[in-house]
Amino acid sequence: MTTLTITKIASKPFEGQYGLTNKIGILTEEYGDKYLNGFMNVINFAVGDTIFAEVIQKGDFLNFKYKGKKTLNTVPATTLSSIPKNIQAPPAPDWNKIREEKKENISWMNAKNNACLLIAHGIYANDTGEPIVNLINNLANDIYQLEPAKLTEDENGNLKIKGKYPPFN
């Protein structure tokens, strides 16, 4: 792999066996007035940029395969082999814990949504004078910690709801 500093770029569309692409010729500080030729779908470098490329000589011609643009503190991928192999990978995430947290978050969002619906449809009235945001959060918290409501009959045969919800008067 070679580092090249571009001094001039020339390109034109080219229809090859793999479809439409760009045929590119570049002049570089390293090769002077000898063009290096290559093919690219997207040209993502400009005059003055330093790039990494593989330069291949074919007869009198020089071809290049673009490997990446050099930016501040970057290293081409092929030189990463010099990094020690004993670097430890980060521990795998605890997916079960993540799933449980996600379920809890979804339950909380559902509880807030249900609280809004109860208030909007007049099923739960705001007769406390409490700000609506607090009412939604408190009601959602009650829904989130829901105790099952059971329908029972009293001694006179009247239906009663036993449990926290629904909070009918």
Its sign, for the CA torsion 135, 139, 141, 144, is negative
The pLDDT assigned to 166 comes to: 46
Structure tokens at 57: 């000589």
What's the pTM value of the predicted model, to 2 decimals? 0.41
User: What does the pLDDT average to over 155-167?
Assistant: 62
Q: Which residue reads 């329908």 in tokens?
A: 151
Q: Name the more confident of 88 and 168.
A: 88
Which domains, ranges and CATH numbers included, belong to the chain?
A: 2-71 (2.40.50.140), 95-162 (no CATH)
28-66: pLDDT as tens digits: 999 999 999 998 887 888 898 888 899 999 998 999 998
